[in-house]
Structure 1
Amino acid sequence: MTNLDSRIAALASSFAERMPGERAAIANALSAGDRDTLIDRAHKLAGIAGMFGRSDIGTAALELEQRLLASTDYVEETERLLDLLERR
Structure 2
Amino acid sequence: MSGMERQMQEMRQRFQQRAASDRAAIEAALAAGDCPRLLQLAHGLAGVAGIFGYGEISSSASALEEAVDADAEDEKVRLLTQALIGALDRA
Considering the TM-score relative to the shorter chain, is it more than 0.5?
Answer: yes
Q: 2:86 aligns to what?
A: 83
Query: Percent sequence identity over matched residues?
Result: 35
Q: Which runs of 4+ in 1 moved over 3 A?
A: none
Name the TM-score, length of structure 2 as normaliser: 0.92
Deviations 1:18-67 (A, max 9, x none): 22211100000000010111000000000000111101100000000000
Q: 1:70 aligns to what?
A: 70
- For residues 37 and 19 of structure 1, the distance between their equivalents in structure 2, rounded to whole angstroms, comes to 15
> Size of the alignment, in residue pairs?
88
Q: 2:48 aligns to what?
A: 48
- For residues 19 and 86 of structure 1, the distance between their equivalents in structure 2, rounded to whole angstroms, comes to 9
Shift of 1:4: 1.1
Shift of 1:17: 2.1
Q: Unaligned 5+ residue runs, structure 2?
A: none
Q: Unaligned 5+ residue runs, structure 1?
A: none
- For residues 26 and 32 of structure 1, the distance between their equivalents in structure 2, rounded to whole angstroms, comes to 10
